[in-house]
Amino acid sequence: MKRDLSTRSSCSGLFVIALLALISFDMRSAVAADPQDAVSTLDRYVRATYARDYEEAYSHIAAPDQRLKERASYVRDRGAFTGFTLEIARVLASYIELKPVETRIVDGQATIKIKFEVPDAGKLGPILHDWDTDHLEALPDSQRKALLAGIDKLRRNHAIEMIQGEDVFELAKEGAFWKIVLNWASPVNVGFQTSIPSSAPVEARLAHSDVITRPGEIFKVVLNVKNTSHEQLFARIGHLVDPYGVRDYLDLVECGFLLPVRLAPGKEEEFVSTYLLRKNLPEGVRQLNVTYAVTLSSN
C-alpha cells in the first residue's frame, strides 16, 4: 500500500495564511497517516516472508527482537530464496491481497488484524519444477522469461488458486518507523539429533543441532545422510518429537524423506525439512526435541 504524498508551495501575497493552512493540514495528515504507515510496514513484511525474502523481512523486525537473533541466523534458519527462485516468489507475492480489519494504536504500540489472500504456491509446483531451486537457477534466460510470462497469463486469467486467511500482528514505533514485534524474548528451542542402528552402514549429520524459534515462525533443518557401503541402500527416516504430548504443535510443512530414500553407494544426500511451530503452543513450553530415526528398508 502506498501513501499519496503531495507537495505544496506558497507563491502568493497571502504567504502567512497559506503557511498556517499547510501546517494545519500536515498535522491532520500525520495523525491520519500513522495507522496507514503501520499497515504499509505490515504489508511489506507479509510479502517479504511469503517470498522467503528474509533479508528484506528482517529489516522490518523490531530492534529488541533483532538483538536476540542476528540477521544471518534468521535468514539461514528459514531457508531464504535467492536468484531466479526469489524473483518468481516476489512476483507471486505481488499478487497478495491484504486488508486490515481491526487496527488499534496506543502509545506507539499497534495491534493489527488482517485478512489476506495469497497464491497457493504448492498448486503452482508443476509449472515451477516443484520449486526445485537447482533446476530453476539452471534455466536459460529464454525459459525464465517464458515461465514468468506463463505465471502472468495465469494471473490475468484469474487461474491462480488463492488461499484465504486472517492473522494478528503487533508493531511498535521506532523513531519515525513502524516495526514488527515478534517477541523473541520468549523463544522456543527445538533440538535435533539422529538415531542409527550400529549395524547400518549409514552416517547422518545435521547442519545445526538446534534452532531458536517462536510460535508462528517457519524454519528449516538440513540433514545429510551418507551410504558408507558399496551397495545401493533404501532407508526410512522417522520423525520423533519429544515431548510426545506437544508433537501436533510442530508441523512438518515440507519434507524430503516422507518415502523411503535411495542412497547410492559411497554417496551423501542432503534432505531439507521445513517446520512451522504453531502459534497455539501451550504456555511454558520452551524446549522440543526431534529425533531422525534412520532404518534400512528393502525399497
Domains and CATH numbers, the chain: 38-181 (3.10.450), 188-297 (2.60.370.10)
What pLDDT is attached to residue 299? 67
E strand or H helix at 148: helix 141-156
pLDDT tens by residue, 42-63: 999 999 999 999 999 999 999 9
Would the pLDDT of 174 be above 80?
yes
Q: Answer yes or no: pTM beyond 0.75.
A: no
What pLDDT is attached to residue 52? 93
What the block records as the C-alpha cell of 132 is 526445485
CB-CB contact of 61 with 116 (8 Å): no
pLDDT, mean over the chain? 85
Give the separation between CA 275 and CA 5, rounded to whole angstroms: 41
Would the pLDDT of 24 be above 70?
no
User: What is the average per-residue pLDDT within 255-265?
Assistant: 81
What the block records as the C-alpha cell of 107 is 502509545
Beta-carbon contacts of residue 179 (< 8 Å; ≥ 6 apart): 41, 60, 61, 62, 63, 171, 172, 173
Would the pLDDT of 10 be above 80?
no
Q: Which residue has the higher pLDDT, 25 or 88?
A: 88
User: What is the average per-residue pLDDT within 203-229?
Assistant: 90
Coarse DSSP helix, strand, coil percentages of the chain, rounded to the nearest 5 percent: 35, 35, 30
Categorize the per-residue pLDDT at 142 as very low, low, confident or very high, splitting at 50, 70 and 90.
very high
Give the separation between CA 226 and CA 27, rounded to whole angstroms: 65
Beta-carbon contacts of residue 215 (< 8 Å; ≥ 6 apart): 188, 249, 277, 278, 279, 280, 281
71-75, 120-124, 184-188, 213-217: least confidently modelled range: 184-188
CB-CB contact of 250 with 260 (8 Å): no
Categorize the per-residue pLDDT at 183 as very low, low, confident or very high, splitting at 50, 70 and 90.
confident
Would the pLDDT of 272 be above 60?
yes
Give the separation between CA 252 and CA 231, rounded to whole angstroms: 31
What pLDDT is attached to residue 14? 36
What the block records as the C-alpha cell of 169 is 500482528
What pLDDT is attached to residue 29? 36
What pLDDT is attached to residue 87? 97
Give the separation between CA 88 and CA 82, rounded to whole angstroms: 10
**Cα angle: 25, vertex 27, 32; to 5 degrees:** 95
Determine the length of the chain.
299
Give the separation between CA 116 and CA 49, rounded to whole angstroms: 13
E strand or H helix at 30: helix 15-50
Give the separation between CA 54 and CA 73, rounded to whole angstroms: 10
What CA–CA distances, in Å, run from 56 to 193, 222, 228? 31, 23, 41
Categorize the per-residue pLDDT at 26 as very low, low, confident or very high, splitting at 50, 70 and 90.
very low
